[in-house]
Amino acid sequence: MKNQNEEIGILQRRKIEAEIIKPIYDILKREYGTEQAKTIIEEAVANAAIQAGKEFAQKEDGPTSVQSFVALQYLWEKDDALETEVILNNQVQYEYNVKRCRYAEMYHEMGLGEIGFLLSCNRDAKFIEGYAPDVKLTRPHTIMNGDGFCDFHYKLEKRKTENSNE
């Protein structure tokens, strides 16, 4: 892996992507309507996020886990992108709140507030699905959707066995 200082942060990546997606989204809205345009963007971004998670997992020296994911958080926080408060961090859970989100601010400034959730927030659960399929994300609140904070709850789920009645 590259040195932390050499890697572009996720905020910068999302800005570049949004600059490309914005004119495409505008055409999709014109041709297919807002709801269909959002559906297309959601599917494309979700698929890209799952693939990105898989690619990050392939770079790991060992199996992916809650803690290997925590070690990647600097990418999302780079460039002062997030102001966070860690609530819980152990082998099976990672919980934190975001008090300030420059991703949300950026999408609103770019005129993409209506799809900012699809471009960034919705991507989080899909990324972890590709990166560590046994880790699940729940996040009832997001700044992007108008809440005062984001509450991330990552938890290692027990694998179901073929003989399990669950």
How does pLDDT run across 106-145, given as a tens digit for each residue?
999 999 999 999 999 999 999 999 999 999 999 999 999 9
Q: What pLDDT, on the 0 to 100 scale, is given for residue 162?
A: 45
Of 61-70, 72-81, 157-166, the least confident: 157-166
Give the CA count within 13 Å in the CB-facing half-sphere of 97. Answer: 7
CATH assignment at residue 57: 3.30.1380
Find the length of the chain.
Answer: 166
Assess if residue 165 is contained within a domain. no
Assess if residue 22 is contained within a domain. yes
- Position 110, amino acid: M
Assess if residue 111 is contained within a domain. yes
Q: What pLDDT, on the 0 to 100 scale, is given for residue 159?
A: 61
Nearest in space to 47 (alpha carbons), one of 130, 107, 138: 130
Q: Are 154 and 94 in contact (CB under 8 A)?
A: yes
For the chain, give the percent of residues with pLDDT over 90: 87
Range of the domain at 53: 10-156
SS3 (DSSP) at 149? coil
Assess if residue 20 is contained within a domain. yes
Neighbours of 85 (CB within 10 A): 10
Quickly list H helices, the chain. 10-32, 34-59, 66-70, 73-77, 102-109, 116, 122-131
